[in-house]
Amino acid sequence: ASSIKHSYVLCLKYTKPGAADISYCHCGSSVDLSCTPEQTGGAPVSLYLTHRCVRPEREVLFMAKDRSPGTVRVNRLYKDRLKVTGGLNSDLLNVTIAHLQRTDTGLYICEFVYTADPSDRTVSGSLEFFLFVDGTESVCQCSSYPPLIYTISAAAGLLLLVLICLCAVECVSSLINPNLTTIPQPSMLMSKFKCNCYSRNYFILFFRHMMNIVSTSNFSQV
């Protein structure tokens, strides 16, 4: 976990289909949020990007289809730090937040409006992003996000436990082969064991590293 503290590691991102993307970044770095809607047969007329898990919840960006003057609103807290690439009619729409601050930590959600009624919002695709910004000198106060932080920590721990169990079961089953007519030599057993478990160890080490990040990245302040 200590390697994540080096200055050349600016942002670590974990993506899982059907779940919120998780980004762990240092203060001063930047992060890209892909707010591209799924193909629904028609382009949305406007986009809302909101910052949640903060008090009060705030609107980060509003953008209408034509992007004419007055149809693009950027929260003053993100002024000169927000860059939009693409548009509502394009296949790719990225929102980049630069010069990240500790107060940027939280859950970001893209909401698309497909009708002329602004109150009719339709969420499409994997459009939730959890961003944690770690201060290199100051401690990031995360007391506002205990439910989400506990959920992420529990999910990471459960996933690590499942991986260890799967590795143990498959490694043991590979050593017990009912079709064998002779007793395998110890050297053969060790070779099979290493072969079957070697690649999985990388996954286990990776998720242990992720758990260390969760446990040491100031979450103890909660």
**What is the 8-class DSSP label of residue 94?**
E
CB 132 within 8 A of CB 106: no
| One-letter identity of residue 9 | V
Tell me the per-residue pLDDT of 140-158, one tens digit each, with 9 for 90 and over. 444 444 555 566 667 777 7
Residue with tokens 């969760």: 214
Which residue in 3, 52, 21 sits closest to 216, CA to CA? 3
Domain count, the chain: 2
pTM for the complete prediction? 0.53
- The model's confidence at residue 137, banded by pLDDT at 50, 70 and 90, is very low
Residue 74: CATH number of its domain = 2.60.40.10
Query: Do residues 97 and 8 share a domain?
Result: yes
List pLDDT tens digits, range 160-194. 777 777 777 766 666 565 554 555 555 544 444 44
Regarding whether 183 and 90 lie in a shared domain, the answer is no
Provide the residue range defining the domain that includes 109.
2-140
On whether both 105 and 36 belong to a single domain, the answer is yes
Tens digit of each residue's pLDDT (9 = 90 or more) over 201-221: 545 555 555 555 544 544 444
